[in-house]
Each structure stands twice: as structure tokens, then as C-alpha cells.
Amino acid sequence: MPATLLRIHPENPPQSRIQQAVEVLRKGGVIIYPTDTVYGIGCDVTNAKAVERVCRIKGIHPEKANLSFICYDLSHISDYAHGISTATYKVIKKALPGPFTFLFEASANAPRFGGVKRKTVGIRVPDNQIIRQLVKELGNPIVSTSVRESEETLEEYVTDPDLIYEKYRLLVDLVIDGGFGGNTPSTIVDCVNDEFEIVREGAGDIEQYL
């Protein structure tokens, strides 16, 4: 059965449509959604079978997957990461919501993709009302991995929701059309050693917050 294409206004997402998407997530569904950078594929972080499905769609093994997840705000971060100093927290508080993925030392509560305990965890708080409202309503973070045109070519991201729907409509349960996406991913910043080491240059400039 083809996925549902759900159009949601990016600035003022109607609660009824947010709820419709959340119900898909609660039933173990996989969705595609907009962020403040590229479109993402994800599911409820607490649903192991859904996470495995996301990995299959991406062609990666769950135990080797470096999946990040999206939080509504900073309040969830302490649930999944530890060792965050006050100085580091002040920087990420200024930078978020924004186009960054921050890597922290994983706590005991961090998701075990494929049953494997992670040393680090990647956390996103995008500046996008649709995905943040989804996470808030769901009550759990959402696994996040980017929608790419080609797994071989890292820089080719699909930006048109209609083209995304055509490509993934038989693979996922719901595609949210929140307008055209970007083609530059988030900047990945490693904060594990209380330093801000750039792992991947992307849309965010961490220097302006240091």
C-alpha cells in the first residue's frame, strides 16, 4: 500500500495533521519529514523494529548504523547523553534549535540500534516547527537519517517532496510535504572531549557560538 502524502504548513502546522503523523509513528510506522536542512527518514526511537526498517531502507546494518535522533528541545539530552559540561551546554543552548548534530558520550538510556550499546549519541534539535511539534506530541525522540538521491554520492539530496514521495512511497508509511528542503546537511560537531571538533561541515557554523 502506497504511503500517504501529507501536506503540512511549515510555519503554522495544524494540530490535526501533526496528530495524524504521530499516530503513524505510534503504530511503528516509518515517515519522511522536513528539517531545517535536508529531508529525513525516521521513526519512534523506542521502536526497535521500526529502527531496523529505517536501516533496511537505507541499506545499512542496525548494529553499524550511526543514526542520530531529533529532540524537541534540550530537556531530552540529559536522558541520553552524559558528561556535558556547563560550558558545552551554554554553547549548544545558543546554537539550538539549528542545523547541527551534536555528538555526546552516550548514557545507559541511549538507544541500542541493533542491540549494540553506543559509545556516542548524535542529537538534533532542528529549527523546523513540523518535526519539533511531531516530537513534542509523540513524547519520544525520532530517529533521523537523511534522504539522499544516491548512497554513493553523499552530496545529492532530494529537495522536492513530490519527487521524494515518488521514490519512497512503497517503502515508508507517510511522507510529509513541508515545502522544498535544503541540499546541505547539518554540521556534525563532536563534543565528547568538551571540544567542538567538526566531523562534517554542513549548514551550521559553530564558530559563531563559541
Q: What is the DSSP string of 157-196?
A: B---HHHHHHHHTTT-SEEEE-S---SS-PEEEE-TTSS-
Identity of residue 151: E
- CA–CA separation, 24 and 197 (whole Å): 36
pLDDT computed for residue 151 by the predictor: 53
Inter-residue contact 181 to 10 (CB < 8 Å): no
Average pLDDT for runs of 10 along the chain of length 210: 96 97 98 97 95 92 86 89 93 97 92 79 96 97 85 67 95 98 95 94 96
Inter-residue contact 144 to 66 (CB < 8 Å): no
Bridge partners (DSSP) of residue 175 are 5, 32
Sign of CA dihedral 49, 54, 60, 66: negative
pLDDT computed for residue 54 by the predictor: 95
pLDDT computed for residue 149 by the predictor: 62
Q: What is the DSSP string of 124-158?
A: E--S-HHHHHHHHHHSS-EEEEE-BS-SS-TT-B-
pLDDT computed for residue 69 by the predictor: 92
- CA–CA separation, 39 and 33 (whole Å): 6
Q: Which residue has the cell 503554522?
A: 12
pLDDT computed for residue 33 by the predictor: 98
- CA–CA separation, 71 and 74 (whole Å): 7
Inter-residue contact 32 to 177 (CB < 8 Å): no
Total length of the chain? 210
Residue 156 has which C-alpha cell? 545529492
Inter-residue contact 190 to 197 (CB < 8 Å): yes
- CA–CA separation, 53 and 46 (whole Å): 13
Bridge partners (DSSP) of residue 129 are none
Can you list the alpha helix ranges (DSSP code H) found in 73-200?
77-80, 86-95, 129-138, 161-168
